[in-house]
């Protein structure tokens, strides 16, 4: 469960903490500042997550940006209580800055 808020919203900018790396050993937490013109699209979709040995239904936020070769992803179970704040903030940010948003959950 997330212990801190990994996304902070401004009118034209998002500050994100994300994990970069191929394997669990090489993963490091990175921070990035995304201006509205660097964000290509945002998607909120249903998915499944592994919680121990169980597979549970969940949601995933995917942010595609021109600054990174891979999208930034946040999962509902991993982010805990902050996930709904992320969704609300991204919906408002995309609407104000005319960014393509795929919302398959609402």
Q: For each successive 10 residues of the chain (106 residues), what is the average pLDDT? A: 82 92 75 95 94 90 95 91 94 96 90
For residue 4, the model assigns a pLDDT of 84
User: How far apart are alpha carbons 6 and 15 in whole angstroms?
Assistant: 8
Radius of gyration of the chain (CA): 14
Residue 24 inside a domain? The answer is yes
Residue 57 inside a domain? The answer is yes
For residue 24, the model assigns a pLDDT of 66
CB contact set of 6 (below 8 Å; sequence gap of 6+): 16, 17, 18, 74, 79, 82, 86
Residue 23 inside a domain? The answer is yes
Residue 1 inside a domain? The answer is no
Q: In DSSP terms, which residues pair with 61 in a beta bridge?
A: 44, 74
For residue 20, the model assigns a pLDDT of 82
- The range of the structural domain enclosing residue 44 comes to 7-103
End-to-end CA distance of the chain: 23
Residue 11 inside a domain? The answer is yes
Q: How many domains does the chain have?
A: 1
For residue 41, the model assigns a pLDDT of 97
Residue 2 inside a domain? The answer is no
């Amino acid at each position: 469960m997330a212990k801190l808020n990994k996304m902070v919203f401004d009118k034209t900018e998002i500050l994100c903490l994300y994990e970069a790396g191929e394997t669990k050993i090489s993963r490091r937490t990175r921070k990035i500042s995304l201006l509205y013109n660097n964000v290509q699209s945002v998607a909120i979709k249903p998915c499944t997550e592994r919680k121990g040995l169980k597979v549970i239904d969940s949601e995933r936020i995917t942010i595609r940006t021109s600054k990174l070769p891979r999208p930034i992803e946040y999962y509902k179970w991993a982010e805990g209580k902050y996930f709904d704040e992320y969704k609300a903030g991204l919906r408002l940010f995309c609407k104000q800055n005319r960014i393509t948003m795929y919302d398959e959950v609402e």
